[in-house]
Amino acid sequence: MTLFRARALDTPADPFAADPRDPSALRAGEDVGIVVEDGTITERDDFAVVRESHAGEAVIDLRDGWLLPGLIDTHLHYPQVRAIGALGMPLLEWLERCALPEEQRLADPDYASDVAGEFVRSLVSAGTTTALVFGSHFPVAVDALFAEAERYGLRITSGLVVSDRGLPEPLLVDPRRAASDQAALAARWHGAGRARYAVTPRFSYSASDAMLDACAEAAAAVPGTWFTSHVNENPAEVAEVGRLFPHAEHYVDTYDRHGLLGPRSVLAHNVHASDAELAVLAAAGTGVAHCPSSNSALGSGLFPMRRHLAHGVAVALGTDVGAGTGFSMFKEGLQACFMQGLLGAEGVPLSAAQLLWLTTRGGARALGLDEVGDLSVGRQFDAICLRPRTGTTLDIGLRHVDSATEALSKIFALAGDPDVADVWVGGEQIASAGLRRPIR
Ligand SMILES: [Zn+2]
């Protein structure tokens, strides 16, 4: 067993369900004792109380930092690590000029292996311990991602990205081949350690009805697999999907009519959603990954979070690397806060507790992962310790706060990858001092 002593912040209860200004929305402990056995949190109380029953035990004292749950990213693209930072283009132009040329390079197994290493280390450096990841169009590259994630024990849900039209020829595949490739990868990786498989058509724009049928077939072949794709990101994309699917009621229906939406489905973006589409998503129990940095970088639009919540659609956050501008979920939370503010009365004024929920427990809920998301008894010990360097703006701010809520606001405003000092997954420490001292 391991006994941690820490200043801990987490959100075990949904702060969207109660008054977000209620201070109890954020659980904060100045001196918390957490006992971890075989990866699971078995005790949590004031340190003095926990100490009494474990008098002889060595203590890992983290009180010089801030202990948070491991961060959860519900949408990003593994092949696009090197494509981050191309600014000033809308979605379809960005795909053609930046993302898709890079994605084609992952046909080379050595190139894919290098990118998989960069991608997984970037997640760990940012403190992200769980992610729903768009894989590659090439099976060998998807294997490389799962293998690299397994080395660190990250909780990755991912799969082969499939398309049969509208993209450069090397990224296209026949639906029959797509069904068999997906089923083979799912059989290999779904449930292997912490890996889970997600059936992943790129978007309806690049997937015919035959391809979406093939996806449903692959999903049925390996029970328990997930489904993810894009929806309603950009007006030009939405219009073209309407033209390609004249018989569909709307963009969401292009997936729903193939039986692809349910509680194990997550769609990214949904910036331009109709009420009818939100009703379908709510009835299906399908979650939405909101990606505010990407929506800003591509000028996609302002996410209607209030309407999603009113319909009862589960919302979490994603970086959407590489249209998104980095792996930090703190930056993503801050950008979500900015964009909701810009919506005025139509927006949701997000509190710090709500940002932490969206990037931890809310993400776990959207991904159906009961075992993570906060630091309660019974959860796996997936955690990060933030320890900003002395003299940085975050360090100065955190030394002068009057409340835990104020501290968390400063963390979302100012924290970045260099502040993530330690990372644990399932009780095992996988990074220390932001990979400057790698554990593996
Ligand atoms: Zn995306």
Confidence band of 440 (pLDDT split at 50, 70, 90): low
Confidence band of 353 (pLDDT split at 50, 70, 90): very high
Residue 18: what pLDDT?
73
Q: How far is the CA of 122 from the centre of ligand 1 (A)?
A: 17
Mean per-residue pLDDT over the chain, rounded: 96
Q: How far is the CA of 268 from the centre of ligand 1 (A)?
A: 6
What is this structure's pTM? 0.97
Q: How far is the CA of 322 from the centre of ligand 1 (A)?
A: 8
Q: How far is the CA of 75 from the centre of ligand 1 (A)?
A: 6
Q: How far is the CA of 373 from the centre of ligand 1 (A)?
A: 23
Q: How far is the CA of 36 from the centre of ligand 1 (A)?
A: 35
Tell me whether domains 2-69+373-438 and 71-327 share a fold: no
Q: How far is the CA of 367 from the centre of ligand 1 (A)?
A: 16
Is 158:227 a contact under the CB 8 Å cutoff?
no
**Is 258's pLDDT higher than 80?**
yes
Q: What is the pLDDT of residues 272-318, one digit of tens each?
A: 999 999 999 999 999 999 999 999 999 999 999 999 999 999 999 99
Is 161:198 a contact under the CB 8 Å cutoff?
no
Q: Cα separation of 335 and 341, whole Å? A: 10
What torsion, rounded to 10 degrees, do the Cα atoms 353, 355, 358, 361 define? -40
Contacts of 52 (CB under 8 A, 6+ apart): none
Buried b (16+ CB within 10 A) or exposed e, 77-88: bbbbbebbebee
Q: Give the mean pLDDT of 6-31.
A: 87
Both tokens assigned to 365? 């809920």
**CATH number given to 71-327:** 3.20.20.140
Q: How far is the CA of 230 from the centre of ligand 1 (A)?
A: 6
Domain ranges of the chain: 2-69+373-438, 71-327
Q: What is the pLDDT of residues 67-115, one digit of tens each?
A: 999 999 999 999 999 999 998 899 999 999 999 999 999 999 999 999 9
Q: How far is the CA of 288 from the centre of ligand 1 (A)?
A: 12
Residue 25: what pLDDT?
86
Q: What is the pLDDT of residues 138-158, one digit of tens each?
A: 999 999 999 999 999 999 999
**CATH number given to 2-69+373-438:** 2.30.40.10
Q: How far is the CA of 324 from the centre of ligand 1 (A)?
A: 9
Q: Cα separation of 374 and 422, whole Å? A: 16
